[in-house]
Structure 1
Amino acid sequence: MTALRAVIDLDVEGPRINKHLYGHFAEHLGRCIYGGFYVGEDSDIPNEGGIRLDVVEALRALRIPNLRWPGGCFADEYHWMDGIGPKEDRPRMINTHWGDVEENNHFGTHEFMALCEMLGADPYVNGNVGSGTVKEMSDWVEYLTRDGDSPMVRLRKANGREKAWRVPFWGIGNEAWGCGGNMSAEHYAEELRRYATFCRDHGDNKLYRIAAGAADDDYRWTETLMKAISCLGCTREPRNIFQGLTFHYYTVPGPWEHKGSATEFGDDEYYTTLAKAARVEELIAGHSAVMDCYDPHKRVGLILDEWGTWYDVEPGTNPGFLYQQNTMRDALVASVHFDAFHRHADRLVMANIAQTVNVLQAMILTDPDTQELVLTPTYHVFEMNKGHQDAASLAVHLLGDDNAIEVGDRSLNRVSASASVKDSRALVSLSNLHLTEPVEITLDLRGRAVAEVSGRLLTAPEVAAHNTSGRPDAVAPAAFEVGAVTDGTLPVTLPPHSFATVELALTPEG
């Protein structure tokens, strides 16, 4: 059995892990909104204003910090005024990006803001640059966030909302290099200046303006946008055009035309998927390095607001709905991402998995026939890891000669790990990515004494195991016996393809 040592200095705190790294994404795509979050007020499924209550309850258990909406590609063909007022009067549209289906606009601004309030999540609204106007976006900001008296305030009040909402996060377009307008970086930078200027702060609401950044490793796009706000050799702060800059990265096992099945895959596909997931750390570091050149004080945050696995859709489903199952393999993709996020918490301030319900690497699947709700293995990783939110990161130094798995021209760590501390409790996350072999990890805990230990384990006999309405707990967390700390060390044996968390109650300092 492979044996590794993980050295953790419990008293050496690193950057804070922003809770918004555990953010979510809900696009008008497939059954994410309609049939997922929203079932309509006349549905037999328990709901409040059409919003499905069991979905809300499940997501509240994750302490979901923010929700991005309405897209994605859909954001750049969405005109927000079509989604306000009496539902029977709202005009219909065609969702040309996702399935070419008719959208009735019954889920709009008021419904989204009600959903965020029910979730206890901050709204992240993505505005339309691709087919919209500066005035349209400026009016939306005013409608949402201004109190007092103005044309948009009067319109909001006429639609039943007296008090302005708090909207902290505002996306200025999406994937401007592609579905958001097929722009060059230089052209988008000019559009960004214009749109951001008229996305005003109203009253106490301060917008965190988020620029639509790069795909994958397009570092030139990042550099172009950073140049738009920087002043090399100057002492002044970057111009206040945007406060956050995104990039997108999906884990796609195969070529785009045949990405692979979510549930039927061989050993090579498993390892390829995990190796591609682990590449996210290289991309975070690459974009961070570019940003450091123009913003060494890290005033602008890096945001990965679309990430997750992308496979071929489930057989018999609409190809434009991007519905896929979710296995133990996906859980490990999520755990690898979070470990990377924690290690780069100095620059990475937000991340949003794609997507929350019924689309791509979802938290929740709802059965369109039985209407039953299923929690996915990925959901459980979010839930087991929620103690990292707003905690101080701790470095984990993995020592040993056998922590590498060769995957083609890349090397994948057999064990992925991260840790944090908050309120005298430390949380250690550990993943054994080897498909068939267990691994023994000795946690070498330094700097603070440990009073109590508990553990939880997520795994399944087969890595392709997944949850269905017939077997909702095929992959679910279980108690994990980890023993006690002796002389500062704690041995932990992880089964193959497993994820575990170890929680440490620390004795008071001093």
Structure 2
Amino acid sequence: MTHAVINLDLPGPTISRHLYGHFAEHLGRCVYGGFWVGEDSPLPNVGGIRSDVVEALRAIRIPNLRWPGGCFADEYHWRDGVGPRGQRPRMVNTHWGNVEENNHFGTHEFMHLCELLGADAYVNGNVGSGTVREMSDWVEYLTRAGDSPMVALRKANGRDEPWRVPFWGIGNEAWGCGGNLTAEAYTDLARQFGTFVRDHGDNRVYRIAAGGHTDEYGWTEALMKARGPYQAVSLHYYTTFPGDGRGGATTFTTEHYYDTMRRAQRIEELIRGHETVMDRYDPQVDIGLVVDEWGTWWDVEDGTNPGFLYQQNTMRDALVASVHFDAFHRHARRVVMANIAQTVNVLQAMLLTEAETGTLIRTPTYHVFEMNVGHHDARALAVHFRDGVPNRDGLDLVSASASTQNDTALVSLTNLDAEAPRTVLLDLRGREVSAHRARVLTGSHLQAHNTADAPDAVAPTEHPAVRAHPRGLEVDLPPHSYVTVHLDLGAR
């Protein structure tokens, strides 16, 4: 039995709801055919935005949405995406499939989507091929009231009042597709561009500088030394395998699964590494760490465009997500936002839509997000494993995190053992537990996934295998499973 001690009366930093953010790039069928179907579509829509997609994402309380990229952001010129749709100039999406982009989904459509979702907008500006003036004008167009050239243009395009845009990315992956820059060159640009991402009226912009590649701690150090006009530094990390063959999303061996989980748990090492650098220059934690691209990256499904990054989503993907969230919760002091890549039809998506039938499918990863809603804006609780956790060749087979809010607590438990069940003793201290209930997410096998014919092959169910214990609760974890335990707490 694994013994986990949780002091319910010792809450730590707040787990920002923005750790459960999402990412929508102009890539494959994420925007077109995912979010956007057009006003003439036979599918139910609001102003061209697909209604069932909005409904599904509202159910998991999507807190923010990053757009338009990704690599696409640094070739996107926002003026091409405003005004009458039929008059918008076209472009070629050179990064993703070399397909033609008609710009029918632009600034107004994105902001309408955010309003429908009840989500904050995270706009990623163009540093790689754009100009300081272009980015400054976009911020003014979006957020300024009164009268000015950009306000007049916005009003001419049908929007009188400004929008609220809390988050702004200063370029993307500047070390690669965003310009192939050095850390020093990008740092100078981040200071320059960030200066002109201005606050208009009562809109306060949280500026996010593009961080280095995975473990490039020197890049983070350059940004921290400069202390430019930005409030956060980003980190991107994908759970994948190097080379051209990343492996199939549904065709993998048990050993490949374990290798995947070792790579997923590396997110802890990376966060700690970047935290160490940031703590040296910013011990007061004024600068946040934003993991605005994370998730699995497998070979595309057979018969699909290689540039569209469409992959299935299995129980393995769900457990990658749960492991990441545990790490984010543990580091909530510094990690203030995260965005899974991506929301619909691309990489580790929440939702898949069938191109032929229009059927909407909730993936196993979607359900992890839904089961974790109780962590949004709750206070983190440390989970201490008294005797450690079982380990397999460097992989911790049990992962956990917890939080408290008002008179409740939520404990998340993951069993990464592919074949063996585990029992965890929750040694609950500091407050009385008056009631509990649990849910479990698992599948008949590691490769289990949802389809139009079997939409609930992997879906959460009530979990009765929780028993009272003199020290708290015993929780049985099936093989390759994710369990959440909700606790009602007595008065303090």
TM range (shorter): over 0.9
Question: Counterpart of 2:301 in structure 1: which amino acid?
Answer: E
- SS of the aligned residue for 1:214 comes to coil
Q: Which amino acid in structure 2 is aligned with residue 328 of structure 1?
A: M
2:126 to 128, 136, 144: 128
Moved more, 26-35 or 188-197: 188-197
Provide the residue aligned with 1:308 in structure 2.
295
Preserved CA contact (<8 Å) 2:381 2:401 = yes
Among all aligned residue pairs of Structure 1 and Structure 2, give the percentage whose two residues are the same amino acid. 66
Aligned to 1:188: 186
SS in 1 for 2:210: strand
How many Å separate the matches in 2 of 1:72 and 1:401?
A: 39
**TM-align CA RMSD:** 0.8
Poorly superposed stretches of 4+, deviation over 2 Å: 399-402, 482-488
- State how 1:123-272 maps to structure 2 within 5 Å: 123-229=121-227, 241-252=229-240, 254-272=241-259
1:444 to 424, 427, 452: 427
Corresponding residue to 1:66 among 64, 67, 76: 64
Distance across 2 between alignment mates of 1:256 and 1:136: 36
Residues 452-500 of structure 1 deviation map (CA, whole Å, 9 limit, x = unaligned): 1000000011110000111100000000014454433201110100000
Match of 1:236 in 2: none
CA distance in 1, matches of 2:233, 2:317: 26
Q: Unpaired runs of 5+ in structure 2?
A: none
Distance (Å, rounded) in 1 between the aligned partners of 2:215 and 2:205:
27
Q: Residue 437 of structure 2 aligns with which residue?
A: 454
> Equivalents in 2 of 1:204, 1:134: separation in Å?
22
Which position in structure 2 is the counterpart of 1:6? 4
Residues 23-72 of structure 1: CA distance to partner in whole angstroms, max 9, x if unpaired?
00000000000000000000000000100000000000111000000000
1:415 partnered with 2:403 = no
Contact 1:40 1:49 in 2 (8 A): yes
Matched residue type, 2:252: F
Alpha-carbon shift at residue 400 of structure 1 (Å): 3.3
Secondary structure, in 3 states, of the residue corresponding to 1:213?
Answer: coil
In 1: Cα distance, 2:237 partner to 2:339 partner = 11
How far 1:215 moved relative to its partner?
1.2
CA–CA distance in structure 1, aligned partners of residues 351 and 213 of structure 2: 26
Q: Is the 8 A contact 1:440 1:492 kept in 2?
A: yes
What is the distance in 1 between the residues matched to 2:87 and 2:213? 38
The counterpart of 1:321, out of the listed 308, 314, 339, is 308
What amino acid is aligned across from residue 142 of structure 2 in structure 1? L
TM-score by length of 2: 0.99
- Please report how far the alpha carbon of residue 401 of structure 1 lies from its aligned counterpart in structure 2 after TM superposition: 5.7
Q: Shift of residue 256 of structure 1?
A: 2.2
**Cα distance change, pair 246–401 in 1 and its aligned pair in 2 (3 A):** closer
1:395 corresponds to? 382
Amino acid at match of 1:65: P
TM-score, scaled to structure 1: 0.96
Judge conservation of contact 1:453–1:484 (CA < 8 Å) in 2: no
Q: Give the total of aligned pairs.
A: 492
Secondary structure of the corresponding residue to residue 123 of structure 1: strand
Asked if the contact 1:452/1:484 (under 8 Å) is kept, the reply is no
Cα distance, 1:182–1:401 mapped onto 2, change above 3 Å: closer
In the alignment, which residue of structure 1 is the partner of 2:357?
Answer: 370
* 2:286 alignment partner, SS class: coil
Q: Which moved more, 1:395-404 or 1:135-144?
A: 395-404
User: Cα deviations across residues 165-210 of structure 1 (Å, max 9, x unaligned)?
Assistant: 0000000000000000000010011111111111111000011011
